[in-house]
């Protein structure tokens, strides 16, 4: 599998995965994983298609999350995170890693507002408990059956 094939397969996996697994490093230096909504899933979230099309780094991952959540506390202390996309049926997987960024821009909050988001953020788009988390990964690993392929993405920070 060459880099172009791997990239194509990876993007397809990102756009099909039902969930994405986000890992932060907790305040004691231990990893902690949880499932998150995969905003890049085209079937579940067609409304974000154009937003992601405009991203310079095609592997950029965004989450909306609660400012008060443990993951935000973890990232403030240690920004190193990774995300994992997987098709458990055929054992393809994609790990992307880098530093998570906590963003509060109004434009981003609007662009990524979830339909029915008041369930998570009762005060709406301006709810101070609403944070956008971005990962512009600087490296990744693609897994397929018994093989794997490591790759770098742009400048290391």
Positions in the binding site for its own copies (CB under 8 A): 18-19, 21, 23-25, 29-35, 80-84, 86, 88-89, 91, 93, 95, 97, 119-120, 141, 143, 146
Tokens of 21: 């697994």
The dihedral built from the CA positions of residue 19, 24, 27 and 32, taken in this order, carries a sign that is: positive
Tokens of 23: 């890992």
User: Least CB distance from residue 78 to its own copies, whole Å?
Assistant: 8
User: Least CB distance from residue 95 to its own copies, whole Å?
Assistant: 6
Q: Angle at CA 111, nearest 5°, toward 134 and 95?
A: 30
User: Least CB distance from residue 106 to its own copies, whole Å?
Assistant: 25
Nearest to its own copies of 53, 146 (CB atom)? 146
Nearest to its own copies of 105, 146 (CB atom)? 146
Beta-carbon contacts of residue 26 (< 8 Å; ≥ 6 apart): 32, 70, 74
Beta-carbon contacts of residue 117 (< 8 Å; ≥ 6 apart): 64, 124, 125, 130
User: Least CB distance from residue 105 to its own copies, whole Å?
Assistant: 26
- How many Cβ atoms are within 10 Å of 117's Cβ, its own excluded? 16
Nearest to its own copies of 30, 53 (CB atom)? 30
Find, among 22, 46, 13, the residue nearest to 115 by Cα. 46
User: Least CB distance from residue 94 to its own copies, whole Å?
Assistant: 10
The dihedral built from the CA positions of residue 29, 25, 153 and 57, taken in this order, carries a sign that is: negative
Nearest to its own copies of 89, 105 (CB atom)? 89
Nearest to its own copies of 10, 23 (CB atom)? 23
């Amino acid at each position: 599998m060459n880099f172009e094939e791997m990239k194509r397969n990876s993007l397809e996996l990102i756009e099909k995965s039902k969930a994405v697994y986000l890992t932060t490093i907790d305040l004691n230096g231990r990893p902690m994983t949880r499932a998150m909504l995969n905003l890049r899933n085209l079937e579940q979230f067609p409304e974000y298609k154009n937003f992601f099309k405009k991203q310079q780094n095609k592997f950029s991952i965004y989450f909306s999350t609660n400012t008060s959540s443990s993951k935000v506390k973890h990232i403030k202390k240690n920004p190193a995170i990774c995300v994992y996309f997987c098709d458990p049926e055929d054992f393809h997987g994609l790990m992307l890693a880098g530093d998570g960024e906590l963003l509060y821009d109004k434009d981003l909050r609007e662009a990524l507002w979830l339909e029915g988001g008041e369930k998570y953020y009762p005060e709406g788009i301006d709810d101070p408990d609403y944070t956008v988390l971005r990962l512009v990964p600087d490296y990744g690993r693609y897994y397929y059956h018994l093989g794997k392929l490591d790759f770098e993405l742009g400048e290391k920070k």
